[in-house]
Amino acid sequence: MKKHTSKKGEAKEPADRLFILDRASKLFREQGFERTTVKQVAEACEMLPGSLHYRYNTKEALLVDLMKLAIEQISQAVLEACASSIDPTEQLRASINAHLRVLVTDSDMVYVLLFEWRSLKGDARKKMLAPRDQYEQLWAGLISNLVEQGVIRDDLNEDLLRIIGLGALNWISTWYKEDGTHTLEEIGDFIWSFLMAGLVNSPTQEKAPAKKKAPAKKKNL
Amino acid sequence: MKKHTSKKGEAKEPADRLFILDRASKLFREQGFERTTVKQVAEACEMLPGSLHYRYNTKEALLVDLMKLAIEQISQAVLEACASSIDPTEQLRASINAHLRVLVTDSDMVYVLLFEWRSLKGDARKKMLAPRDQYEQLWAGLISNLVEQGVIRDDLNEDLLRIIGLGALNWISTWYKEDGTHTLEEIGDFIWSFLMAGLVNSPTQEKAPAKKKAPAKKKNL
DNA sequence: GTCTATACTCTGATAGAC
DNA sequence: GTCTATCAGAGTATAGAC
């Protein structure tokens, strides 16, 4: 029953798009993309399957459009976080919290983006690779800055650091509950301070002083 | 056509169980549980849907049995890793690599266990909580040891450390490819040495010396 | 743009012969 | 234990009136 909200004919981006993608992503997050039926999506949008089909010819087209918007959302959130300070250390802290907040709390779309990648077939998936890499580049630049400014050790593989770090953030969305013992920002700051201060209890440590050192063959890890 | 391999009537744990769960988990990993049909599973097991139904009355029963075995597998792998040394630092290193290896390389079941949790309905899920917590306890003990022995700072929240750390490991299974630039053990050692040596570039650092310190209200993170 | 009605396929599960 | 045969329901997508 939702009326089309375009005015004066300039219906380039109907407000319905956001509405539909929002309701759909909520279902996809709760039930998974495969288990959710187009009928359910239509119902959640207060329309009938036939009407939804007018906007999206296939179920997958809906998912693709959803993911496109999701990447825009999370990219914007991190960009804003970076813009909040000129100190790269603080930029990192703000970005960690922004990524977490968008993924866990603010946007079901971003959650779906990360967890329903498998449901994208070959063609649709390829089209999402570029935007995805673009987002990764935001983080690559952030880390690169920290290395250049001497905050982070320069003998660490920055790609591994980025990928593994983002993975740690992503997984949090699988267990975090709003009513838990920690706020989301506490968790983000935990990770950040953990990164900044390290884990071990030796204030005068060297680089890798553990008693039984791992096989020393690797050099650029 | 796979013959039943029980001998002398003691068919408590037919070898077919492993065979079926193995083939099924491979499909579930590649396509997801929901997208995979019982027909496909039967085919992969070289039998017909009717025969598979003799072993598992429902599709979900198959998933539950699969997950039970998966928890046993990953628990055993970490237990063995812990048994490989009496040094808790080395135990940590071995456990990280064991978790990674089982999840990424050795067992599709473990992957399914971690990524198809959503497909478990209320009742089946509850039954899996106890074994899952049991596995978490292995890691809790490991970390607890490291704190007691003074290796890890004692002002860190051990639960958060464990959950976030395991999450970082889990996510690796979403992107790691065998033919990548790093072996799995290199990645595991990267994480371990990262944990042991810290990230920042200040050899004489204090606990949390970053310029712009995060809001200092939290105390037990 | 939204509705009604439906085509066509696939799915999980069952029944019963062998 | 495995097979053949099949059911009842659900799924996506379509056609065409309004």
pLDDT, residue B12, reads 43
Among B34, B168, B207, beta carbon nearest to A167: B168
Query: Which one of B114, B196, B205, B213 makes the best mutation probe of the A interface by having the most chain A beta carbons within 10 Å?
Result: B196
Determine the nucleotide nearest to A36 by Cα–C1' distance. D11
Half-sphere exposure of A209 (CA within 13 A, CB side): 11
Residue B41 has pLDDT above 50, yes or no: yes
Report CB contact under 8 Å: A32, B215: no
List alpha helices for chain A, DSSP H: 15-31, 38-44, 49-55, 59-83, 88-100, 108-115, 122-148, 158-172, 184-197
The first and second tokens of residue B187, run together, are 């990645």
**Measured in angstroms, what separates residue B51's CA from nucleotide C17's C1'?**
14
Q: For A53-104, write each residue's pLDDT tens digit.
A: 999 999 999 999 999 999 999 999 999 999 999 999 999 999 999 999 999 9
pLDDT, residue A197, reads 84
Find out whether A97 and A185 touch, Cβ atoms under 8 Å: yes
pLDDT, residue B213, reads 37
- Please name which of A65, A76, A79, A75 lies closest in space to residue A28, comparing C-alpha atoms: A65
DSSP state of A4: P
Q: For A158-211, write each residue's pLDDT tens digit.
A: 999 999 999 999 999 999 999 879 999 999 999 999 898 877 775 444 433 333
Q: For A127-170, write each residue's pLDDT tens digit.
A: 999 999 999 999 999 999 999 999 998 889 999 999 999 999 99
- Environment class of B82 (CB within 10 Å of its CB; exposed 0-12, middle 13-18, buried 19+): buried
- Please name which of B146, B141, B153 lies closest in space to residue B198, comparing C-alpha atoms: B153
Per the DSSP assignment, residues forming a β-bridge with B200 are A152
Among the ranges given (A56-60, B30-34, B121-125), the one the predictor scored with the smallest mean pLDDT: B121-125
Per the DSSP assignment, residues forming a β-bridge with B47 are none
Q: What is the 3-state secondary structure (H, E, C) of B132-169?
A: HHHHHHHHHHHHHHHHHCCCECCCCCHHHHHHHHHHHH
Give the confidence band of A10 by pLDDT, cuts at 50, 70, 90: very low
Give the confidence band of A126 by pLDDT, cuts at 50, 70, 90: very high
Q: For B72-119, write each residue's pLDDT tens digit.
A: 999 999 999 999 999 999 999 999 999 999 999 999 999 999 999 999
Give the confidence band of B3 by pLDDT, cuts at 50, 70, 90: very low
Does any strand C atom come closer than 7 Å to the Cβ of A141? Answer: no
Give the confidence band of B9 by pLDDT, cuts at 50, 70, 90: very low
CA distance A25 to A39: 14
pLDDT, residue B14, reads 63
Q: Model-level pTM?
A: 0.88
Strand C: which residues 1-20 of B lie within 7 A (CB)?
none
pLDDT, residue B194, reads 87
pLDDT, residue B67, reads 98
CA distance B5 to B17: 10
- Please name which of B79, B136, B77, B67 lies closest in space to residue B108, comparing C-alpha atoms: B67
Does any strand D atom come closer than 7 Å to the Cβ of A60? Answer: yes
Residue B61 has pLDDT above 80, yes or no: yes
